[in-house]
Amino acid sequence: MPEYTTANWASSALLVIDMQVDFAEGGASPIPGTAAVAQNVGQLSAAYRQAALPVVHVVRLYLPGGCDVDPPRRAFIEGGGTVVAPGSAGSAIIAGIAGPHPGSDPVAVDADLLLRGELQQLRENEIVLFKPRWGAFYRTGLQDWLDQRNVDTVVLAGCNLPNCPRATLFEASERDYRTALAEDAVSRTSPERLADLADIGVNVLSTAAILQQLPAPS
């Protein structure tokens, strides 16, 4: 029988979800455990970069006073609250993840470009993408960008598994991508959440296991 869920590592892309300064401990809206997984996320990003495989840094941007915000945060932002505000230090990607090497500084996101629906090119095959809601495929050009690169497998790491990574995995599965999750490179995991994702065909693996599967650097 055909096998439709096994990851094809040579045609995979890494999606790094919401690894922004404001969402790490010490930021404006911290998600527990986000700083702790940053090193593993950085290792995955570096390995994908070295293997010349696609990397997408998916980010949030909340315009102060704006209304195009997911419902749980909408009243706060409409009332003048600021989290990952365009141009702020808190909107930057956490140090060591999007830079060219693990010790790199935080990488600023180009809010003007991203809010126009365009992609911020960091280097060949590596971009920053803005998403307006939980899932990275909703109202974005992510699927087109992946399909242009013949990606059939998406590997997720990043911030806050119950929300954005989980929503993105469901969206990816609905689009027939093979999926994998780096369980020790995503914050707010639990055995129950990981088991639920495995039940929809997500390959739940450690960072080390994923690194072993990637093609040799080109």
Number of Cβ atoms within 10 Å of the Cβ of 191:
8
In this prediction, residue 122 carries a pLDDT of 97
Q: Which long-range contacts (CB under 8 A, 24 or more apart) does 169-173 make?
A: 169/197, 169/200, 169/202, 170/135, 170/200, 171/135, 171/136, 171/137, 171/138, 172/137, 173/200, 173/201, 173/202
Q: Give the chain's domains with CATH numbers.
A: 9-213 (3.40.50.850)
Q: Identify the pLDDT of residue 218.
A: 64
pLDDT > 70: percent of the chain: 99
Q: What is the pTM of this model?
A: 0.97
Whole-number pLDDT of residue 101:
76
pLDDT of residue 135: 98
Residue corresponding to tokens 């500084």? 105
